[in-house]
A and B are shown apart, each in its own frame.
Chain A
């Protein structure tokens, strides 16, 4: 199951890059020994993620101590065998406690040569020993199992990349910390007003990751990701026991792109209005019928139903449903839809994109991949693990530190060649409601996340969790806010039911969790009219609202 969750300008420093030098020396030394073994390694990769985090969190006018952390992690991959068959090959019908294919270790947060070298040495050594054991098992495993359906190699070559990007020293200054703490505290008082608001808060999360990507092909990349998220959160409980939460946020690549005081005040106000409206809104019954997915909802919808199914490794893995593996060259969505994934885009319509990166975690350049052209499936997002018909990486090999790389989405962009205005889309929805003889249609305005199952051992389905859903009537009657449903379905059926798209797009920035961990992603889509969607009741808490009245000091 793969889930999608919501979750200052610095000056480049010319510090001596001791870390790169130490890492390079130890990698070279490792290569010398491992490439000369009787069963030699043929490729070794080392990624170091030097991560800094600062979190300012406030609640009801009070501030939590600022969380400030610095960690450094080394990811290590050792490949033994050869490109066509190596230790990362699937070990079929194997025990859950098999040998690892990926390795890693915490490193000192200081650039001290002896310490870093000793720790890396031990992890390279451990990685090689495990890899060797796994390859021994794999050779027997391969001999007693039927041929793999996809006979492509286990790894692909990629030209060495050399780019040392400047590292900016992004830390909040004491004055900035003070300013933001005060700012968020002020807004948190307004946010918490009213006994109905059971908990609430604002948070500023500053994340800086300096990454070093090295491998025995000669790749040497130094890169940096800076991410700011300002978020607003509030929770209440409806009389029927349902917990209602709203979460609004802004992602930015620099401090100066965070919202102004006025904008934060507006986020707070809108969150409160949304929360109170949802608390009073009726629960909608399970329903099948036409619906509009507004841009962000449509973006998550595509991320779940299509995005995870165009990740390269899934076309090869025999545990996967391989929904789209044999459909290259076939029409999978209506012909007015095209889909690409372009991690090299840093902004879209002045919104900073979370899925932006220059190089993926295998040192391949993040490329703009045309996945679907005029409804026809053309390609997959690829890491360096080839699949039949696609032998090269297109820069989508990604992971969270500590996990093995697989192909993942970056910035998924859904575009439509023929569009209508949003008002025309609404009219089409009303017409569809009438034609289908439905009492109402739905508009999914905002969502909190979603997930999908892609494996063979469970039904290939998806679920998108809306926050705000509106009932729309064919007759002249105001839309009605409702709550308590999730959007569900199966992908192939849903692809064919997309009817129309609007001429404006929205961005969903999120964090996507899958087998290679949590990675930042974006999805961009226009509003979409879907001929038929299905909603099911949302899981709901059954506790009563607070039994006694709020204390006098809170009222």
Chain B
């Protein structure tokens, strides 16, 4: 009993940081099994994730959640930075472990959890390492490095922030008469993450991230039974930067007017011709097509198999021409005041501003500490990945064209090109559905039609020769990929910085407008020489009349 008391007193005397550092060091020096690789790197993250979320439908509160969760994560590597347990897809073991902690957990509890997480991560790392070692025993394709070196940094930018309860706001905002609406809901989230990263390399980075999302969603039914859907959303570094309540209300009225127009609008059943993207739609367009071209983290390698499978290949390639013309693309994490701004990434690396596409050609790539052939340094773009691989993702992306034209000139050109293609009008996309709100589930089977490659237009009009515009509904893109970027024929005014919630590029993404990492994009309006869209109409009609 006396012994126990002493040890508790010992732990209480130390603060959490000291305890974590000491426990990481102890595990680094003591963890090991006979004839097995030993750890060479251990990182720990303490993450306090606080969320205030509310959703109202037709003016009544549906959910109001205020939660705070403290988590502790461990990231452990065995072997050496030349060849370790990572960057390989094999087995189900994991060397990244995590657990929930009480909000007032004592240093002793941190120590205990860290001990157990390191133990679990080490066992996972040994299994990962053996899978990888076995795969490479008959291969000579390893690039000779698994973990890029860094300049070790210490920095503390944590901020004290009190989240706002936004439930009264959403209730007020959705207080519209439900008459004629299939759905009308408003949801809001205010979220902050306090992250403290410590590693056996002596990295010590503390920071606070915050983002706020306000989302309006409305659905009405057309006479043929189809649903027409509208969204308005604001992503901002804090709720203070949302428009005023009156401003949001005005947007709701515009949304309603737009949907009323859509209810009477024709369906864009089959279109082949030029498409004009207004600035905000263009920013979303680039955000969907560019990340894989500028993010350098390659996919995990895989073991050779008997079916002739080979490891997946990175989509990004330096030297590849992406645009016809002298377009530039920069990533600017150090630019202040944007949602994607930060000083240090999740691996403790100072973020660099970079030119990624220069004169239309891929010039450089965003990198985390995950290596790639020919790349020797992280650029400080590793974000996320507490329980999975930390890969590079864009932060604040500025897309600039070689030349800008006024919108009137682009519209004129678009109409002319469309006429040449045999159309009476040209399609103008005002708003492209953000990836996180796109609900289409696409499954490609061999022999099927090509995938759309781009989310659905959310607001699209036909622009006629006489300058009149007509709303259209239901058209979806067909067979879009990065090569469409070379079909941009003109660029127009630049969009303001548009804030978004995103995730590192991957082949699979779960759509969620509230979960991810902040990014900001700015791009010019663009005219593309040819795109294909198809649409359909019809849906079930109500059998019970709407309540009075």
Contact = CB atoms under 8 A, between A and B. Distances in A.
A128 B540 CA distance: 12
Given A543-B123, A546-B116, A554-B7, A115 B108 contact: no
Contacts of A30: 544
B60 A108 contact: yes
Interface in A158-198: 193, 198
Contacts of A118: 58, 178, 181, 546-547
A63 B104 contact: yes
Contacts of B3: 555
A129 interface: yes
B101 A62 contact: yes
A507 interface: no
Nearest to A545: B119
A115 B59 contact: yes
A61 interface: yes
A269 interface: no
Contacts of B26: 548, 551
A110 interface: yes
B103 A112 contact: no
B22 to A, nearest CB: 8
B59 A109 contact: no
A26 interface: yes
Nearest to A59: B102
Interface in A319-376: none
Contacts of A26: 547
B64 interface: yes
A548 B58 contact: no
Interface string A529-549: 000000000000001101110
Nearest to A117: B547
B182 A37 contact: no
Contacts of B114: 551
B63 A71 contact: yes
A109 B178 contact: no
Contacts of B57: 108, 115, 119
Nearest to A30: B544
B405 interface: no
Interface centre among A59, A62, A109, A551 (most CB of B within 10 A): A551
B33 interface: yes
A315 B542 CA distance: 37
User: A-side binding surface: helix, strand, loop or mixed?
Assistant: mixed
Given A109-B61, A552-B10, A62 B545 contact: no
B151 interface: no
A37 B105 CA distance: 62
B65 interface: yes
Contacts of A107: 62
Contacts, number: 147
A139 interface: no
A195 to B, nearest CB: 9
A552 B7 contact: yes
Nearest to A61: B106
Interface in A189-212: 193, 198-199
B510 interface: no
Interface string B94-125: 00000011111111110110111001101100
A377 B68 CA distance: 53
Contacts of A62: 101-106, 109
Contacts of B103: 62-65
A60 B99 CA distance: 14
Interface string B480-512: 000000000000000000000000000000000
Contacts of B139: none
Interface residues of B, number: 58
Given A26-B547, A117-B547, A61 B62 contact: no
B60 A116 contact: yes
Contact of B109 (A61, A65, A193, A548): A61
B530 interface: no
B446 interface: no
Nearest to B181: A118
A543 B62 CA distance: 44
Contact of A129 (B33, B58, B115, B540): B540
Contacts of A29: 544, 547
Interface string B343-359: 00000000000000000
Nearest to B104: A62
Contact of B545 (A33, A58, A119): A33
Interface string A476-514: 000000000000000000000000000000000000000
Contacts of B115: 546, 548, 550-551, 554
A60 B10 contact: no
B544 A128 contact: yes
Interface in B103-153: 103-109, 111-112, 114-116, 119-120, 122-123
Contact of A33 (B8, B69, B112, B543): B543
B119 A546 contact: yes
B109 A60 contact: yes
B11 interface: yes
A60 B171 CA distance: 40
B37 to A, nearest CB: 13
Interface string A24-45: 0010011001100100000000
B30 interface: yes
Contacts of B112: 60, 550-551, 553-554
B111 to A, nearest CB: 5
A198 B58 CA distance: 48
A421 interface: no
A128 B123 contact: no
A65 B69 contact: yes
A211 B184 CA distance: 26
A242 to B, nearest CB: 16
B302 interface: no
B81 interface: no
Interface centre among A107, A112, A117, A543 (most CB of B within 10 A): A112
A533 B343 CA distance: 66
Interface centre among A59, A109, A546, A553 (most CB of B within 10 A): A553
Contact of B182 (A34, A63, A109, A122): A122
Contacts of B542: 125
Nearest to A194: B4
Contacts of A59: 101-102, 105, 109
B532 interface: no
A553 B19 contact: yes
Contacts of B68: 65
A87 to B, nearest CB: 14
A554 B111 contact: yes
A193 B112 CA distance: 12
Given A112-B59, A551-B112, A121 B67 contact: no
Contact of B116 (A125, A128, A198, A553): A198
B178 A551 contact: no
Contacts of A122: 182
Contact of A128 (B119, B122, B171, B543): B543
Contact of A115 (B19, B58, B67): B58
Contacts of B171: 110
Interface centre among A70, A124, A548 (most CB of B within 10 A): A548
Contacts of B120: 543
Given A30-B544, A117-B547, A552-B10, A109 B108 contact: no
Contacts of B544: 29-30, 33-34, 121, 124-125, 128
Interface string A87-126: 0000000000000000000111110101111110110110
Given A62-B109, A115-B60, 6 more contacts: A62-B101, A62-B104, A63-B103, A118-B178, A553-B10, A554-B108
Interface of A: 26, 29-30, 33-34, 37, 58-65, 67, 69-71, 106-110, 112, 114-119, 121-122, 124-125, 128-129, 132, 193, 198-199, 543-544, 546-548, 550-555
5 contacts: A60-B102, A65-B67, A65-B103, A121-B547, A547-B123
Nearest 6 interchain pairs by C-beta: A62-B102, A553-B11, A108-B60, A115-B60, A115-B58, A112-B60
